[in-house]
Structure 1
Amino acid sequence: MKIGCPKEIKPQEFRVGMTPHAAHEAVAAGHEVLVEAGAGVGAGFSDADYAAVGARIADTAEEVFAASEMIVKVKEPQAEERKRLREGQLLFTYLHLAPDPEQTRDLLASGVTAIAYETVTDDRGGLPLLAPMSEVAGRLAPQVGAWTLQKANGGRGVLLGGVPGVAPARVVVIGGGVVGTHAARIAAGMGAEVTVLDRSLPRLRYLDDTFAGAFRTRYASAGDTAELVAEADLVIGAVLIPGAAAPKLVTRAQLSTMKPGAAIVDVAIDQGGCFETSHATTHQDPIYEVDGVMHYCVANMPGAVARTSTIALGNATMPFLMALANKGWRQACADDRHLLAGLNTHAGQLTYAAVGAALNLPVADAAKIVAERRAA
Structure 2
Amino acid sequence: MQQAHRNRTEVTFAGRENHPPGYIRYRCPPQIGGTVASGEGPVISSNKTCTVIRGRYLNTSKAATGIEGLDDILAGGLSRSHVFLLEGEPGTGKTTVALQFLQAGAAAGEISLYITLSETESELRSGAASHGWELDEHINIFELTPPESLLDADHHQSLLYSSDLELGEATRQIFEVVERVKPTRVVIDSLSEIRLLAQSSLRYRRQILAIKHYFTRYNATVLLLDDLTTEALDKTVHSVAHGVIRLEALTPTYGAERRRLKIVKYRGQKYRGGFHDFTIAENGIHVFPRLVAAEHRSNYSRSQLSSGIPELDNLLGGGIEGGSSTLILGPAGTGKSLISLVFAVQAVARGERVGLFIFDEEMGLLFERMLKLG
TM range (shorter): under 0.3
TM-score by length of 2: 0.27
TM-score by length of 1: 0.27
Q: Which of 1 and 2 has higher RCO (CA within 8 Å, sep 6+)?
A: 1
More strand by share: 2
Quick check: which has more Rg, 1 or 2?
2
More helix by share: 1
